[in-house]
């Protein structure tokens, strides 16, 4: 069973499946010591689709057809071939976001989204081409945010918070000369405005949002479809999701250590009390000394000391996990610093990582 679930949201044609193929290819090849694996059947399927996407001789047919059915994948992220985190990934029909009553698995999709620890939004870069920002905003609203915002509303109702979310500007090679980072920020702020406002009711959770430009290759879908498949920045969103999984794990490990330290303190207190009780009994005048009670207290003390030793060993194991997790997250930070835009409750953070 996967440790967590990531879900990518996007309407038909926004690049969800191509993103999946680019992500798998890039991470299988390895990135900064990290690799991605899956089971043999899924590996064969993904490799076949990727090879087809790489074949420029196929023209427009090199691109995968729109997804009609939901496909679930379970991936393992490894570092130095050692497993770190496993995650489930769902590839679904883009029209599931709009044809709510017509798509039979819409309810299952909502459950998957609600259980996700991070969400990714595919914002089609081809909608950001040109110089008319008002036209761009209308296009994003019509073909992206008006369908997706409902899912964030449902997520918050189910979980009481919003998950760390990355907006992926797919096909960024198509719009990079037409749209500045400042303009992208303005469009995103308007299209997903709820992410940029603090909750009226005070909350311990924060709305964390990043904007990541990605591409599977420069001009890959130009008029003759002859562009090379060269994924750019695609790995960053996976590192983003894994970062927050590890961050949560580190907090849980620290909490476990504190809990076990409290347990040891309580055991020390019990051991001290039982020893005093035994010593007092042993010091009694021999006619009134209860040897059975002394033996019972000795057994209890031995049990408590054994439990204390086992708890100390547990703490050592958790500490080892904590050290390793901190090292992994530190390595991820080095790459995540490349993400240009990160917002906390709408406030831009230059040095979030």
Q: What is the pLDDT of residue 28?
A: 87
Q: How far apart are CA 234 and CA 214, in angstroms?
A: 6
Q: What is the pLDDT of residue 95?
A: 63
Q: How far apart are CA 82 and CA 335, in angstroms?
A: 19
Q: What is the pLDDT of residue 197?
A: 81
261, 266, 270, 272 alpha-carbon torsion, rounded to 10°: 60
Q: Name the token pair of 87.
A: 């995650």
By the 8 A CB rule, do 92 and 105 touch? yes
Q: How far apart are CA 319 and CA 329, in angstroms?
A: 15
Over its length of 353 residues, how does the chain's per-residue pLDDT go in tens digits?
Answer: 889 999 988 877 888 888 998 888 888 888 888 999 999 999 999 999 888 888 888 888 888 876 656 778 999 999 988 999 999 987 776 666 565 555 556 777 788 889 999 999 999 999 999 999 999 999 998 888 888 888 888 899 999 889 999 999 999 988 989 989 899 999 999 999 888 887 776 667 789 999 999 998 887 777 677 778 888 899 999 999 999 999 999 999 999 999 999 999 999 999 999 999 998 888 876 667 788 898 999 999 999 999 999 999 999 999 999 999 999 999 999 899 999 899 998 889 888 88
Q: How far apart are CA 101 and CA 108, in angstroms?
A: 13
Looking at the DSSP assignment, which residues form a beta bridge with residue 73? 89
Q: Hey, how many other C-beta atoms are within 10 angstroms of the C-beta on 262?
A: 10
Q: What is the pLDDT of residue 330?
A: 92
3-state secondary structure of 105: coil
pTM of the model: 0.88
3-state secondary structure of 129: coil
Interval 241-260: pLDDT, tens: 999 999 999 999 999 999 99
Q: What is the pLDDT of residue 99?
A: 57
Q: What is the pLDDT of residue 164?
A: 94
Tokens 């994948």 belong to which residue? 73
Q: How far apart are CA 222 and CA 33, in angstroms?
A: 33
Q: How far apart are CA 65 and CA 102, in angstroms?
A: 20
Q: Which of 245, 244, 249, 254 is nearest to 319 (CA)?
A: 254
Q: What is the pLDDT of residue 97?
A: 59
Q: How far apart are CA 251 and CA 325, in angstroms?
A: 10
Q: Hey, how many other C-beta atoms are within 10 angstroms of the C-beta on 84?
A: 20
Q: What is the pLDDT of residue 267?
A: 97
By the 8 A CB rule, do 97 and 151 touch? yes
């Amino acid at each position: 069973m996967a440790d967590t679930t990531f879900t990518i949201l996007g309407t038909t044609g926004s690049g969800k499946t191509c993103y999946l193929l680019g992500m798998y290819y890039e991470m299988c090849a390895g990135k900064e010591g990290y690799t991605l694996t899956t089971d043999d059947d899924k590996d064969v399927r993904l490799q076949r689709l990727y090879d087809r996407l790489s074949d420029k001789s196929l023209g427009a047919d090199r691109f995968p057809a729109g997804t009609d059915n939901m496909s679930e994948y379970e991936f393992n992220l490894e570092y130095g071939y050692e497993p770190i985190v496993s995650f489930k990934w769902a590839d679904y029909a883009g029209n599931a976001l709009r044809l709510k009553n017509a798509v039979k698995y819409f309810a299952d999709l909502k459950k998957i989204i609600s259980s996700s620890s991070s969400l990714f939004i595919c914002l089609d870069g081809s909608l950001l081409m040109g110089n008319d920002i008002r036209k761009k905003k209308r296009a994003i609203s019509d073909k992206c945010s008006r369908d997706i915002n409902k899912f964030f509303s449902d997520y918050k109702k189910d979980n009481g918070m919003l998950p760390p979310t990355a907006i992926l500007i797919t096909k960024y090679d198509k719009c990079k000369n037409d749209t500045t980072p400042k303009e992208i920020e303005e469009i995103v702020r308007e299209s997903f405005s709820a992410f940029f406002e603090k909750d009226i009711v005070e909350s311990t959770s924060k709305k964390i949002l990043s904007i990541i430009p990605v591409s599977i290759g420069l001009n890959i879908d130009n008029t003759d479809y002859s562009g090379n498949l060269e994924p750019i920045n695609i790995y960053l969103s996976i590192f983003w999701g894994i970062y927050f999984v590890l961050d949560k794990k580190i907090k849980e490990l620290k909490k476990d250590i504190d809990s076990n330290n409290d347990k040891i303190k309580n055991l020390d207190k019990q051991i001290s009390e039982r020893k005093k009780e035994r010593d007092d009994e042993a010091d009694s005048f021999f006619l009134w000394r209860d040897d059975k009670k002394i033996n019972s207290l000795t057994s209890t003390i031995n049990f408590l000391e054994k439990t204390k030793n086992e708890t100390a060993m547990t703490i050592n194991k958790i500490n080892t996990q904590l050290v390793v997790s901190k090292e992994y997250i530190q390595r991820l930070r080095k790459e995540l610093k490349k993400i240009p835009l990160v917002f906390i409750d709408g406030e831009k953070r230059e040095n979030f990582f």
